[in-house]
């Protein structure tokens, strides 16, 4: 059910999982877990589950890439 071949921000689910973050940023699962645990990253812990609100993730990406929105695959 999970489509992790995201091409732009519109394709993202409302709440991203750690695996979604890994797919969008094209990093490993381990790297994504390290990232979501960093201070300042917009992750929420709900029990043992970690989720990232889409809009906050987009804002975080823009802040860390010079604020330019692009498609994920060029």
| Per-residue pLDDT tens digits for 31-60 | 999 999 999 999 999 999 999 999 999 999
**How much is the pTM?**
0.83
Burial of 16 (0-12, 13-18, 19+ CB in 10 A): buried
3 pLDDT band (50/70/90 cuts)? Answer: low
At residue 65, the 3 state secondary structure works out as coil
Rg (CA), the chain: 12
Mean pLDDT rounded to a whole number for the chain: 89
CA pair distance 48, 27, nearest whole angstrom: 21
Q: Which fold has domain 9-64?
A: Arc Repressor Mutant, subunit A (1.10.10)
Mean pLDDT of 56-68: 89
């Amino acid at each position: 059910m999970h489509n992790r071949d995201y091409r732009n921000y519109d394709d993202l689910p409302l709440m991203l999982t750690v695996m979604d973050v890994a797919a969008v940023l094209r990093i490993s699962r381990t790297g994504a877990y390290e990232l979501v645990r960093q201070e300042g990253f917009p992750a929420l812990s709900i029990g043992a589950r970690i989720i990232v609100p889409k809009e906050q993730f987009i804002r975080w990406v823009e802040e860390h890439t010079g604020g330019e929105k692009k498609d994920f695959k060029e």
